[in-house]
Amino acid sequence: MKKKYFLYTLSLFLFGWLSNAQNGYKISISLKNCPDTLAYLTYYQFDKNLLKDTCTSIKNGKIIFEGKSKLQKGIYTLVSQQKSIYFDFFVDENSQNLEIETEYGQNLVKNLTSNSKTQNNFFDYIRFIGKQGVELQEYKSKVNPKTKQDSLLVLDKQKSLEKDLLDIEEKFILANKGTYIADVVNLKTERILKNVPMLSNGKKDSIAEFNYYKKHYWDNVDFKDDATVRNPFFNIKIKKYFDQVVYVHPDSVTVEIDKMLDKTITGSLINKILIGYFTHNYETSKIMGFDKIFIHMAEKYFKTGKANGIYNDESIVGKIIKRAEKLKPIAIGSKAPELYLIKAQDIEQVNKMGFDKANTSEELTNLYYKNQDAVSKLFYKLSDVVADYTVLAFWDVDCGHCQKEIPKLVDEYHKLQKKGVDIKVLSVYTLFETDKYQKYIIDHKLDWINTYDGIHFNNVVEKYDVYSTPVFYLLDKNKIIKAKRFGVDQLEKLIEVLAKEK
């Protein structure tokens, strides 16, 4: 009976041990002469480096990270006590029990070895990249990059090194085909057309080069595998694609985003990260008109529930949708929302009605209905402006930037008029200190259409998203928004482009 009980207990122990061995991980790193008493295990996730584990008892350079659940596929990093990176390595389903050896100091990367052949191949690849960097720096130190001839020599040297790297990467991917690390290096590898056709003028066909580059940019990249985002190259590759490869136009970018997200699994990590990245990136984009992409993201992914689970705080989803709804009526290509304004010359009449003294929305409403007929006669509407081009200028007398830009706009306005451009400026003062406003108009000879929201009828700040001043919109004769949030020095060029479009 005791023998049977012993065997039963032993079998349970062995089952538990085997189960932990199969499901857990153990990363053993021997870092000779390591001065640290603790170290961190981190991993890449798109544009972040996240903490996975901490070793709090380093003895004789022996660093051990251990856990009961398997590590997810990805590029991991040994980080020092001072939060600096020692080196990167990869983990996949075949390297959950990994041993790495090296020594602290200048030869750290040079002496990296592992119990995994594929890991050693990756270390060789890292060493090759480092060697190339040193070689390029040494070459630069021997020439003078400031001279045209030497800068061309440096460029030739760089191209030669890049070609060598491409050859190494292609061999690495082929030799390690089917492994996670081959997929990672594939992400970094550039797609170069090797036999570029020549044009009749003897020059290379750059269009053919670009078309090949764009067509093959995402070759063999698995958008259904979440491990794709757990390396330092994916974020860089995404950014480069949308900054340098895709045609810089909101419609083109939108098409490419949708094509990419269609390759992912809805609700997967990579799907959530990309939706979050594109939404934030184009909401905050400085490129004129790219808020149209943000609006698209809100409508296609957040309104439909396809973006559920991206944020821990679900109220963020509501804020994104609300922000998009606010921006949609004032997107480039939309008809500018109507405005009912009061001209500066009619300020006294409005003040006599008591609007300058009203403190609550109820008081304003009562005053409006009491004086509705008189107010209606005073309203000057945006649609009343008749011109080929209308500059809608929202500004504030006390705004420091406005004090620089408004005088420049006056000069630009007069210059364009002298050139025969049919242009008008509808100036909208965003506050209600009318004495200051009237004085500024006189002092600076603002001979355009000067208005303000004297009846508090429009809420121009919300309607036209004027969260800071000045804000300029350029409208065509049909009051279609053609440009917005531009600098005065861009106005003439914008009108030239619009004239060519016509």
Nearest-angstrom CA–CA distance, 225 and 229: 8
Q: Find, among 323, 321, 334, the residue nearest to 392 by Cα.
A: 334
Per-residue confidence (pLDDT) for residue 139, from 0 to 100: 67
**Rounded-to-10 torsion of CA 267, 270, 272, 278:** -140
Q: Give the per-residue pLDDT at 111.
A: 92
CA pair distance 92, 180, nearest whole angstrom: 7
Tell whether the model's pLDDT for residue 9 goes beyond 60: no
CA distance 50 to 42: 5
Using only the alpha carbons of the chain, give its radius of gyration: 32
pLDDT of 4: 47
Summarised one tens digit per residue, pLDDT across range 221-233 is 999 999 999 999 9
Mean pLDDT confidence for 298-324: 91
Q: Is the pLDDT of residue 240 over 50?
A: yes
What six digits make up the tokens of 186?
């594939």
- The pLDDT score that the predictor gives to residue 2 is 46
pLDDT tens sequence across 194-227: 888 888 888 888 899 899 999 999 999 999 999 9
Angle in degrees, CA 268, 274, 278, rounded to 5: 150
What would the mean pLDDT of 332-350 be, rounded to a whole number?
A: 95
pTM metric for this prediction: 0.85
Dump pLDDT digits (tens) for 365-384: 999 899 999 999 999 999 99
pLDDT digits (tens, 9 = 90+) for 262-299: 999 999 999 999 999 999 999 999 899 999 999 999 99
Mean pLDDT of the chain: 89
pLDDT tens sequence across 131-188: 878 777 776 676 666 777 767 776 777 778 778 888 888 888 898 888 999 999 999 9
Query: Helix, strand or coil for residue 293?
Result: helix
Rounded-to-integer distance, Cα 132 and Cα 105, Å? 20
Topology of 22-115 in CATH?
A: Immunoglobulin-like (2.60.40)
Tell which residue, 334, 268, 333, 271, has the closest CA to residue 297: 271
470 cis-preceded (ω within 30 degrees of 0)? yes
For residue 249, give the H/E element and its range: none
Instruction: Tell me whether residue 62 is exposed, middle or buried, using C-beta atoms within 10 angstroms of its C-beta: 0 to 12, 13 to 18, 19 or more.
Output: middle
Read off the pLDDT band of 13 (50, 70, 90).
Answer: very low
- Whether the CA torsion 334, 340, 344, 345 is positive or negative: it is positive
Containing 307, the helix (H) or strand (E) segment is none
The predicted pLDDT at position 203 comes to 86
Residue range 340-501, CATH number: 3.40.30.10
